[in-house]
Amino acid sequence: MEYVKFGSSNLRISRLGLGAMGFGDPAWRSWVLDESDSRAIIQRAFDAGINFIDTSNFYSNGTSETVLGNALWDIANRDEIVLSAKVGNPTAKHANASGFSKKHLFAAVDASLKRLKTDHVDILRTHIWDPHTHIDELVDAFDAIVQSGKALYIGASTMPTWTFVRCISLAERIGKTGFGSMECEYNLCDREAERDLIPFCREYGVAVTPFSPLARGFLCADHRATEAASKRRHSDDYTLKRYHRPGDFKVWEIVAEMAHARAVSPAMIALAWTLHQPGITSPIFGATRIAHVDEAVAAMAVQLSESEMQALEAAYQPRGPQNLRS
């Protein structure tokens, strides 16, 4: 496993990150694994050298964090793991159960730490973006969490570039902890982050740890075929809405053709492309089978030529303005 610096910090994380959305409670999403089945995947990832684990209090209504808290410390020592958490999504139905007020953030972080069975997370990030957020309060609250020792580094996920820039500039101007990482959606079928977000992060030394490098599984199989239907496909309407455009299927066809020619899986080609992109620190992949971990690790050895990169990118269908509350 290769380890890289987390942006401009001195923290080192594995070149691949394991996303924990698939660990938790099958009652939340039918494709989610319970704790017993999750343990084997977490163990495999750790054995492969993956030290970067990403979760959220939203996943399985917090049960993802409970699974990690129960399993991780049987597998690894705390200092061996770089644990990333996210807050902001609804955790209950009352008025202050979501968003970025100090009231919600302080309570949400304490609840996450209890479930994760640790006194701190290494990285804390905003999750869903709320355009009505008062950024001054968000920056102040995240700084307070760092000063309390409950998080070491902070960042954002799915935040508009102009807002992210404002968070960074405000923190710098008033002497607060800076947002040093971005977790954005980025894959062969969604390259909108290339417009300004990734270039900004490269220029300012911000770590980029994109999620959905396989387009939520869309780039793993031909989803026009009945036999390719999975539990996630039937229960994840976001994937159906976002990754079934004509251009997405053209991208899939090129990925599949290249995978066949190289005798590797389509997932390995798609992940290798993301790993090849400048400015990408560590893509976060999800796994619900041990084989998914093995494929992701093997993708690190796939070297794509310039002509192959161009072929993969040629069919991209640009997107219009995005709804970051999806």
Q: Distance (Å, rounded) from C-alpha 275 to C-alpha 36?
A: 31
* 153 given a catalytic annotation: no
Structure tokens given for 95: 């008025």
Question: What are the structure tokens assigned to 310, written together?
Answer: 């161009």
CB contact set of 52 (below 8 Å; sequence gap of 6+): 13, 14, 16, 17, 18, 82, 84, 209, 282, 284
Cα separation of 183 and 211, whole Å? Answer: 6
Q: Which residue in 59, 153, 186, 243 is the catalytic one?
A: 59
Q: Which residues are catalytic?
A: 59
